[in-house]
Amino acid sequence: MSKFHINGGVPLIGEVVTSGAKNAALPLLAATILMEGDTTLTNVPNLMDVITMVRMLKALGLNAEYRSPNIVKISNTKKVRHVAPYELVTAMRASFFVAGPLLAKTGLAKVPMPGGCSIGSRPIDIHLKGFKQLGASYSIEHGFVDLRAKKLIGSHVYLDFPSVGATENMMMAACLAEGTTLIENAAQEPEIVDLGNMLNKAGAQVSGHGTSTITIKGVTSLTGVTHNVIPDRVEAGTFMIAAAITRGNVLVKHVNTLDVEPLVVKLKAAGIKVEEVGNDALRVSALNGFQAVDIETQPFPGFPTDMQAQMMSLLTLAKGTSVIKETIFENRFMHAPELMRMGADIKLNNHIALVTGVSGLSGAEVKITDLRAGAALILAGLAAEGTTTVYGLKHLRRGYENMAQKLTALGARIDEIPETGAGR
């Protein structure tokens, strides 16, 4: 596996264009299982997780091909298979998003339990409870969830927690159910809105997506569509923080400014300059440093958990002490010990991190444990004095398209070194 060498201390200057949203593309691809005919998705990010989902669709019997690195064409003409391969679900737990569409389309879905990952146990109890409320039954045997339903019946589905994945699975299952479904305590993330919009283009009757109550009137079939994936708000936020942590000046283009509002509020509170340029770009600069701010992750429209690690890197260099509370995942502070090795002053106590700003970070060898922790360590390396070597790039490739190239274009000194087998 290769590694990054980053020579820090260079203020990032220039423009960067964000890619399509990974966390929108994945459910959108799964939703093509529901549709008859051809669907073309544009602005698809060229990422490992998306490639895995395309492989999943092929394994289920759909024709899926890349027309370009960012355009995928799916043809759903034959009967789909209802068993999802183990090796693909373990490669990417979001593959569990195929359960709802498979159940709705075929009445059956046999999907491996996705299992946990480094940030948490990632249970699926909310998904399973929702499927039962829609009239399905299930058994768990040999590591597979075996779902079946002669016919899904529209009903009142209450989610114990506004789970993004469970909301998406319920939306897709309810589209072909008999009658009307109400999803209460639904997730409100922008990716949910994008999914609802695509489903409606395909002939579904979804309303309220983006609020905590989604109403879906079941229909008999959906047709293939052409749909453009929304911009990736987490990638955009990562580059906004890259501008601030290096005290640079960067125009981040191709971003729905409302989708990054929770981050913008916090950056401005820290004294960082953020200005909207048109309706799909933001200029971020922090020429005079920034102050500590407190962060508590919450479901959208609260501060996103997917930006917590990146924000922690920034706050290690803020004036004062910040309190960061992670309320979504049980183990999402793994970037903290690596930041401490770079000189950060962080005290951890369960779900709280006390981050006291230091005058500077020093480059070190660090290891990526999960996708967003990886982004956080790269951001710290961009600001640190000296060289930071970042191992574990496979995690990064799951969620960031051409990250090194985009940072280099902003002036960052970052080289990818093929791994020789030595090192951590």
Binding site for ligand EPZ (CB under 6 A): 22-23, 26, 94, 120, 122-127, 161, 163-166, 305-306, 328-329, 371-372, 399
Listing DSSP states for 319-369 in one string gives BSEEEEE--S-TT--THHHHHHHTT-EEEEETTEEEEE--S--B--EEE--
Angle at 20 between CA 19 and CA 21, to 5 degrees: 115
Cβ atoms of 173 and 34 within 8 Å: the answer is no
* Shortest Å, Cβ 214 to ligand EPZ: 15
Q: Which is nearer to ligand EPZ, 25 or 366 (CB)?
A: 25
* Shortest Å, Cβ 353 to ligand EPZ: 17
* Shortest Å, Cβ 273 to ligand EPZ: 27
* Shortest Å, Cβ 342 to ligand EPZ: 22
* Shortest Å, Cβ 160 to ligand EPZ: 8
Q: Which is nearer to ligand EPZ, 26 or 198 (CB)?
A: 26
Distances (CA, A) of 160 to 95, 96, 131, 214: 22, 19, 13, 15
Nearest residue relative to ligand EPZ (C-beta): 165
- Of 48, 117, 153, 348, the active-site residue reads 117
- Say whether 117 is catalytic: yes
Q: Which is nearer to ligand EPZ, 225 or 375 (CB)?
A: 375
Q: Which is nearer to ligand EPZ, 163 or 249 (CB)?
A: 163
Count of C-beta atoms within a 10 Å radius of residue 420: 8
Element (H, E) at 148: strand 144-148
Non-local (6+) Cβ contacts of 19 within 8 A are 43, 45, 46, 70, 231, 232, 235, 401, 402
Pairwise CA distance, residues 147 & 178, whole Å: 17
Pairwise CA distance, residues 230 & 25, whole Å: 8
Pair type for strands 108-112 and 137-141:
unpaired
Q: Which is nearer to ligand EPZ, 205 or 331 (CB)?
A: 331
Catalytic residue positions, numbered: 117
